[in-house]
Amino acid sequence: MTTPGPTNGPSTRPGPATAAGPGVDSSSLLSLRGISKHFGAVEALKHVDLDVPAGQVTALIGDNGAGKSTLIKAIAGIYEPSGGEIFWEGRKVSIHTPRAAEELGIATVYQDLALCDNLDIVENMFLGHEKTRTGVLDEIAMELRTKEVLADLSVSTVSSVRQLVGSLSGGQRQAIAVARAVMHESKLVIMDEPTAALGVSQTAQVLDLIKRLAARGIAVIVISHNLTDVFAVADRIAVMYLGNLVSSGPVANYDPASAVDLITTGESSRTAA
């Protein structure tokens, strides 16, 4: 059932084919080969292979506990994989820290958002990337840029960017976390259930935002339990089942019924296309 291989759509990134490992598609921005992760006796990831092309939205789907969050944490430098290889633009890399992931151009919005409630929106947006002038924080520049980014993403519900993040609603917090991830020039943006806590119009806005990121040539990985959202936004789909990546390929290869089969049983007799 696994559909490895050729990416559809224009290949925007002809990587150096020579440096690529065995079986690594050099047109992919990110390639995972045999990634596994143990938590003691729990095998959260079992030899996961995945290719993520630039300029496309890859939806990562799977049941609760399938290993989706663990997989993206391995990419983002939060967890060190127990085994396997990661290729970035065709070159083998090891991502030991969040900073290393960031330096490659990987930005992540976590399921738990990872915002500091005691800091305001501007402070959270620039956390770890503060603008300074002669060593002193440049609050004005950061505040102006924050307003610009939020306006750009049509985040219109916060009344002041100097509001403490702890006082925001779930949707507002999500919007800030997304804005934070896309503010820095990233090549890959990973979002763990970005619409889970959102109302109808904010969900539409985030999905719209995801498409716009992809249109700019950014690779996006989205985890979602909402198949409507997935089919609305994804160019590619990857399905996880009990730590295995059981299927991946262009969205045209799937329909909601086969996706549900894959999510719940790890296989599907129905295959679109």
Partner 1 sequence: MSDAGSTPAATSDGRTSAMGQFRRLRQGDLGLVPVLIGLLVLVIYFQVRNTVFLSAGNLTNLFIQATIFILLAMAETWLLLLGEIDLSVGYVSALGATFAVILLDQQFHWPWYAAILVAIATTTAIGTLQGFLIIKLRLPSFIVTLAGLLGWEGVLIFSIDRQGTGGTIPVQEKVLYDLVNANLSPLATWIFLMASIAIFCWIIIRHDQSRRSSGLDSVATWITWAKVAALIASGIVLVLIFNTNRGSFTVLHGMPYAIPVDIVMLAGASFILTRTKAGRYIYAIGGNAEAARRAGINVDRYRLLAFILTGVTAGVAGLLYASRLGGISDGVDGGNLVLLAVASAVIGGTSLFGGRGKMVNAVIGGLVIATIYNGMALIDMSAATQFIATAIVLVVAVTMDSLARRGSTVTR
Q: Does 85 sit near partner 1 (CB under 8 A)?
A: no
The residues binding ligand ATP (CB under 6 A) are 39, 42, 44, 62, 64-70, 111
Q: 66 contacts which partner out of ligand ATP, Mg ion, partner 1, none, CB within 5 to 8 A by kind?
A: ligand ATP
Which residues, listed in sequence order, are joined to residue 137 by a DSSP beta bridge? 132
CA 85-225-263 angle, to 5 degrees, is 65
Q: Does 144 sit near partner 1 (CB under 8 A)?
A: yes
Q: Which residues, numbered 209-268, are part of the site for partner 1 (CB under 8 A)?
A: 212
Q: In this complex, which beta carbon is closest to ligand ATP, that of residue 176 or of residue 263?
A: 263
Q: Does 159 sit near partner 1 (CB under 8 A)?
A: yes
From the list 16-24, 64-72, 123-131, 223-231, the region that binds partner 1 by CB under 8 A is: 123-131
Q: Which of 7, 69, 244, 258 binds Mg ion (CB under 5 A)?
A: 69
Q: Measured from the CB of residue 130, what is the shortest distance to ligand ATP in angstroms? A: 30
Q: Are 59 and 224 in contact (CB under 8 A)?
A: yes
Q: Does 192 sit near partner 1 (CB under 8 A)?
A: no
Total residues in contact with partner 1, by rule CB under 8 A = 51
Q: Measured from the CB of residue 155, what is the shortest distance to Mg ion in angstroms? A: 24
Closest to 83 in 3D by CA, of 50, 52, 48? 48
From the list 125-133, 235-243, 249-257, 262-270, the region that binds partner 1 by CB under 8 A is: 125-133
Q: Which of 71, 155, 189, 219 binds partner 1 (CB under 8 A)?
A: 155
Q: Which residues, numbered 83-122, are part of the site for Mg ion (CB under 5 A)?
A: 111
Q: Cα-Cα-Cα-Cα dihedral of 14, 234, 113, 30, to 10°?
A: -20
Q: Which of 137, 257, 272, 273 binds partner 1 (CB under 8 A)?
A: 137
Which residues contact partner 1 (rule: CB under 8 A)?
A: 76, 78, 97-99, 102, 108, 110, 113-119, 123, 127-130, 132, 135-137, 140, 143-144, 147-148, 150-164, 166-170, 173, 212
